[in-house]
Amino acid sequence: MADRVSCGALRAGDDGRTVQLCGWVNRRRDHGGLIFVDLRDHEGVTQIVFDPQHPSFAHAEHLRHEDVLQVRGAVRRRPAGTENLRLQTGDIEVEIGELEILNRSQVPPFQVNADETVDENLRLEYRYLDLRRPRMQRNLRIRHQIIKAMRDFFDSREFLEIETPMMIKSTPEGARDYLVPSRLYPGTFYALPQSPQLLKQILMIAGFGRYMQIARCMRDEDPRADRLVEFVQLDVELSFCTQEDVLETMESCMRYVWREVLDVELPPFPRLTHREALARYGLDKPDLRFGLELADVGANFSGTEFGVFRSAIEAGGAVVALRYPGGAALSRRDFDALTETAKQFGAKGMVWIALAADGNKSPAAKFLTEVQIEGVRTALGAQTGDALLLFADATSLAYAVAGKMRNEVGERCKLRDPNTYAFAWVTDFPYLEIDEETGRPMPAHHPFSAPAPGDWGLIDRDPMAMRAQHYDMVLNGYELGSGSIRIHKPQEQRRIFEMLGLTPQEVDERFGFFMRALEYGAPPHGGMALGVDRIVMIACGEENVREVTAFPKNQAGRDVMMDAPSPVPNELLRDLHLRIVNP
Ligand code: ASP
């Protein structure tokens, strides 16, 4: 009897066993009369040898890549000197006994057996072939392990996983909703959830003290490398909790996941307030794998004749400086290219100073005194051989540009090691921020977050100064997710809606069901959601969430394998009371 084994299982000690394997033809080689077929499955690759005397030899001659085989044969050690050290099964081979060709494959549009770069749309169109590649098999396996570890962790803490519906009422959470037209109720729509936010809060009101869900969420936004329109969140909510309880829970979960899946012990996550994060790193999702802290060096240039700095300082702005380790060795062209990058980030320009061994060099040299340069050098802890990059603008813009340039410099100086995991908490976010599109104040998180204790008093006087009990978890410069302590008193929730300019009628139409629930003894509660796709992406060392998602939409938001979105028959539209008006 032959034992069924995977293509990754056999070792030298299996010599002499008779086994059965199933898989795909990864490669076929004709060699000195023998034919070698590498058979591949999700576990690995095993070499099958066909001798010209064997009746299957004639079939083996016609095998093609990705044909599906079942083979039986005897395991034997490879002749000394022909072992393949790169394969786990490289000490052995299987001498063909019986061959069954289970299915044939067309010639694949790209090589499945090599990690060559293939156009992403072609990969997505033939995703089933792409997913056969070891890297994608590995990524989806890590994804499974991460999600399992999350569930195990929350189960051990007695959280319940409760599913929430996919078709709900449109309750916008900052992005555009995907809508589902109703057949039974003409002219009305369900919305797909941007997150289960209100439902998980209602579960707290319903007395489930600890909720979690691996939740699918949909937001009709433009896709990006680190964002999909359809994504998965680890969604969590707790009753009778403090902010500290939520942070401890989520941090312990991530520590558990990293230990179980990556065998990495994470240190306690450093904490920064939002204000500190901006002042030191320019961004609210700082990459803490490296230092290179920013410095506001405006005071250093008070009274300067240099127009670029003077106008920024006089307008109440800032001059923000960044150190480029070893940057003195860059050429003028390199600095020009860096300046272009800064402009793409919104800067008006960039002033650079190279601290070369033979003296300081800068295109702005004639406007800068040695004392001023020395002041910047000291503020940044820079040394000879480094360069200083300066950004003068309105304070928030100067910091934002310097923060993005800090990541750019970190990248160029190879300070962003993908195998280092720098988690952190950012806390004390402002309640409101100015929406880039509308120019209007909007909640930095969502309108269900509670203001910081003691900040309610600012709501009439200076709402922009109000802080929220809102926190973000960041990892290697990515925001993994946000959460907050929620408002649980109906009158306070009304007050926030009022501040945001919603009339009582609008509140009633959009959130009436939720306001009513708050009236029936809502407990204090809070929670958080983390982006599972992003977490898996970083754990896999990938730079694109599509690499860790089985069937993602492409960069243009299309499913190119199924060809969606696509037109539907007119009857279906009629059933839904819809008519297409061509733009
Ligand atoms: N629902 C929020 C989000 O998706 C997370 C939370 O506040 O729990 O960002």
Written in H, E and C, the secondary structure of 330-372 is CCHHHHHHHHHHHHHCCCCCCEEEEEECCEEECCCHHHCCHHH
Straight-line distance from the first to the last Cα atom of the chain, in angstroms, rounded to the nearest whole number:
68
Closest Cα to atom 4 of ligand 1: 195
Q: Amino acid letter at 408?
A: E
Residue 478 CA to ligand 1 center (angstroms) comes to: 16
- CA 494 to ligand 1 centroid distance, Å: 20
C-alpha 208/C-alpha 402 separation (Å) is 45
- pLDDT per residue over 506-533, tens digit each? 999 999 999 999 999 999 999 999 999 9
pLDDT averaged over the chain? 95
532 CA distance to ligand 1 middle (Å) = 13
| Contact residues for 422 (Cβ-Cβ < 8 A; gap 6+) | 287, 288, 289, 475, 476
Ligand 1 atom index nearest CA of 448: 7
pLDDT at 32 over 90: no
Q: Does 426 score more than 70 pLDDT?
A: yes
d(CA 529, ligand 1 centre) in Å: 5
pLDDT of residue 228: 85
Model pLDDT, residue 115: 77
Mean pLDDT to the nearest integer, 102-116: 92
Q: Which of 168-182, 323-337, 423-437, 444-458 is the least confident region?
A: 168-182
Alpha carbon of 555 to ligand 1 centroid (Å): 24
Which residue's CA is minimally distant from atom 1 of ligand 1?
197
- Model confidence pLDDT, tens digit, residues 427-450: 999 999 988 788 889 999 999 999
Q: What is the 528 CA–ligand 1 centroid distance (Å)?
A: 6
Residue 582's pLDDT is: 82
Label residue 583 exposed, middle or buried (CB < 10 Å: 0-12, 13-18, 19+).
Answer: exposed
The pLDDT tens digits for 245-268 are: 999 999 999 999 999 999 999 999
SS3 120: helix
Nearest to 15 by CA among 78, 59, 109: 78
R_g of the chain computed on alpha carbons: 30
Ligand 1 pocket: which of 159, 216, 235 to mutate (most atoms <8 Å of CB)? 235
DSSP 8-class letter at 61: T
At residue 172 the predicted structure's pLDDT band, cuts being 50, 70 and 90, is: low
Atom of ligand 1 nearest to the CA of 235: 8
Res 1: pLDDT? 66
Task: Please determine, for residue 224, whether its predicted confidence score (pLDDT) is greater than 80.
Answer: no
Q: What is the pLDDT of residue 565?
A: 95
Give the residue whose CA is nearest to atom 7 of ligand 1. Answer: 483
Residue 577 pLDDT > 80 = yes
Q: Which numbered atom of ligand 1 lies nearest the CA of 194?
A: 4
Please give the Cα distance from 168 to 179 (Å, whole number).
Answer: 9
Query: Amino acid identity of 258?
Result: W
Tens digit of each residue's pLDDT (9 = 90 or more) over 132-167: 999 999 999 999 999 999 999 999 999 999 999 999
Distance 506 CA to ligand 1 centre (A): 22
Task: Using the predicted structure, report yes or no on whether residue 173 has a pLDDT greater than 70.
Answer: no
Which of the listed residues 482, 485, 530 should we mutate to test ligand 1's pocket, taking the one with most ligand atoms within 8 A of CB? Answer: 482
In the sheet with 160-161, reading across from the earlier edge strand, the strands are: 160-161, 210-218, 230-239, 525-531, 478-485, 470-475, 423-427, 271-273
Q: Is 319 exposed, middle or buried (0-12, 13-18, 19+ CB in 10 A)?
A: buried
Ligand 1 binding pocket, CB closer than 6 Å: 195, 197, 482-484, 527-529
Cα angle: 499, vertex 501, 506; to 5 degrees:
120
pLDDT band at residue 221 under the 50/70/90 scheme? confident
For 377, list phi and psi in degrees, rounded to 5: -55, -45
Q: Are the beta carbons of 23 and 47 closer than 8 angstroms? A: no
